[in-house]
Amino acid sequence: MRIALINPPFPPDWILRFTNSYYFPLGLGYIAAYTRQAGHTVKIFDPEPVGMSLEQMWNEVKEFRPDVVGITAVSPNFSRVRQLAAEAKQRLGCLVVIGGPHANALPYATLKGVSGLDAVIIGEGEIPMLALANEFNAHGKVDFNKVPGAVFMENWKYKETPRPELIEDLDALPYPARDLVDIRLYYAHRYFFRGKNSATILSSRGCPGQCTFCANICMGRKFRARSAANFVGEMEYL
């Protein structure tokens, strides 16, 4: 399967724009690496750090010829997510799915509120996206009943498959596919790093806390840690 993963731009007045910060989309990076490892073809489109217009991005997406477009959504950029999902269906006619914190918190509202959307993916994204890709390869289409963590409409009825089991062995995951972008374009707040190259990295997933402001609904409440060797290995790679 050919998978296009899109990290939507934020609104111009979003607070991170004032700090000139751009963070590599780790969620998309993990999904890209996990599905690519299984033999699928993946490309990440992140137009904002590159200074790419949306029209130019769509030209490149169209040239890639994806079978599915996956878009990650957080609440501050959800209006842009809605726009991109509708355009993806209109321009490409392929499958369109949305994941990320906003979709996990509000799967029904996301599904009903986005034109052209085929499904919302909830839970950790690696296993559902690989199941979706394998299902497409086997049948040339996707039965979302066979995709864990899928929220979709079937015969005008709302359906939700069980969330995928949490990934226990995080060491089994490949490092995020940072090679699919120009990693030099991503940096944390320039005030702290004085323009030096920097990168984000996750040493664990899950948290037993229930802080009202946190999006741990994506990763679950069960804490899981990577081994020290695996974590340091990624640091050395970076």
69-107 per-position pLDDT tens digit: 999 999 888 999 999 999 999 999 999 999 999 999 999
Q: Could you read off the pLDDT of 116-173 as tens digits, one per residue?
A: 999 999 999 999 999 999 999 999 999 999 999 999 999 999 999 999 999 999 999 9
Q: CA–CA separation, 108 vs 88, rounded Å? A: 20
Asked if residue 6 has pLDDT above 90, the reply is yes
Q: Count Cα neighbours of 6 within 13 Å in the Cβ-side half-sphere.
A: 31
Residue 19: pLDDT band with limits 50, 70, 90: low
Averaged pLDDT for residues 7-36: 82
Asked if residue 16 has pLDDT above 90, the reply is no
* pLDDT for 192: 61
Averaged pLDDT for residues 213-221: 75
| Rg (the chain; Cα; Å) | 17
* pLDDT for 126: 97
Q: Are the beta carbons of 75 and 104 closer than 8 angstroms?
A: no
Residue 210: pLDDT band with limits 50, 70, 90: confident
Full DSSP string of 167-197: -S-GGGSPPP-GGGS-GGG-BS-HHHHTT--
Cα angle value 29/35/36 (rounded, 5°): 85
Q: Could you read off the pLDDT of 24-38 as tens digits, one per residue?
A: 999 999 999 999 999
